[in-house]
Amino acid sequence: MLTVDNLEKTYDSGDKALKGVSFEVSGNEIVAIIGPSGAGKSTLVRSINRLTEPTGGRVSLDDTVVTGLGKSALRDVRRDMGMIFQEFNLVERLTVMENILSGRLGYLSTWNAFRRNFPPEDIKRAREILSRVNLDGVENNRADELSGGQRQRVGIARAVIQRPKILLADEPTSALDPDTSREVMSLLTDIAHEDDIPIIINIHEVDLAIDYADRIIGLSDGEIVFNGPPDELDQAARDDIYRGGESIADREEPSASNNTDSDDVIAERGD
């Protein structure tokens, strides 16, 4: 179970992005985080595995208190938290197979990681996952030859091969067209059910959240103002979430700012 307790994040700029956020996620629940631009959705998802360092509160995964772990223990617990990114964060010059296998780098010795010596069971599992995410036939293509939807499937496969206890997805559909977004959401739902793990998804499209999530958390100005099943997200709840904020219809470009330190999580694994 993931427990987020009174989580706070104040950036050096003074921006209070999270003002005491608390919730729990367990089982194979799909939890969508929605809210207007600047509400703190991305900060919340990235604070869970400390890609963004929270300034207060506590995150626990089962018996491990993630906040407060030293660097090496944090690296270990990040293996339990698969991360999926808006801009995919693939290594463009590497093949699909190599990108997927990079999800296992954190499990190899430094020398084997450096040489990319993956054990046969990792390669076997990578092939199985490749098939599961419908990437059969493109395993030897370079990542930069793929469509956006295919790239996100590689990103998902790379997270799944870690055998995580939970998946965190930071705007996984923002760079995709509507049909591909639905395919990706459907794939994520299948994975949650088949692997029996929860998924927390920061998502802009309220319709997708309603159609695919079991529970919706609405953030407004760094605080949770809604936490319930999609069928309870009535107009009053929407007004609470989006009051004063930029409405989704007003949004122009999705933020590309989430690429800055996400490379760290890959770099941590030896890339």
Q: Are 237 and 34 in contact (CB under 8 A)?
A: no
| Binding test (CB under 6 A) with ligand ATP, winner from 1, 6, 11, 259 | 11
Q: Which is nearer to ligand ATP, 34 or 197 (CB)?
A: 34
Minimum distance from CB of 20 to ligand ATP (Å)?
14
Position 64 contacts ligand ATP (CB under 6 A): no
The site string for ligand ATP over 226-265 (x = CB under 6 A, - otherwise) reads: -----------------------------x----------
Q: Which two tokens stand for residue 230?
A: 């999609």
Nearer to ligand ATP, 37 or 141 (CB): 37
- Site membership for ligand ATP, residue 39 (CB under 6 A): yes
CB count within 10 Å of CB 30 equals 23
Which of residues 20, 38, 57, 106 is near ligand ATP by CB under 6 A?
38
Q: Compute φ and ψ for 208, nearest 5 degrees.
A: -65, -40
* Interface with ligand ATP, residue 125, by CB under 6 A: no
Q: Using the rule CB under 6 A, is 53 a contact of ligand ATP?
A: no
E runs forming strands in 39-157: 56-61, 64-65, 81-85
**Alpha-carbon span 42 to 29, nearest angstrom:** 19
Pair 191, 22: CB distance under 8 Å: no
Using CB under 6 A as the binding rule, whether residue 13 contacts ligand ATP is answered as: yes
Q: Does 218 bind ligand ATP (CB under 6 A)?
A: no
Choose the stretch contacting ligand ATP; rule: CB under 6 A; options: 10-18, 22-30, 180-188, 206-214.
Answer: 10-18
CA-CA distance, 99 to 92, in Å (whole number)?
9
Distance separating alpha carbons of residues 174 and 220, to the nearest angstrom: 19
How many Å apart are CA 77 and CA 79, to the nearest integer?
A: 5
- Residue 220 beta carbon to ligand ATP: minimum distance, rounded to whole angstroms: 10
Q: Which of 4, 7, 17, 21 binds ligand ATP (CB under 6 A)?
A: 17
User: Cβ 145 to ligand ATP, closest distance in Å?
Assistant: 28
Q: Give, in order, the Cα–Cα distances in Å from 137 to each of 91, 96, 114.
A: 19, 10, 27
**What dihedral angle (degrees, nearest 10) is formed by the CA atoms of 66, 48, 58, 11?**
120
User: Which is closer to ligand ATP, CB of 47 or CB of 152?
Assistant: 47
Q: Which residues bind ligand ATP (CB under 6 A)?
A: 11, 13, 15, 17, 35, 37-43, 255
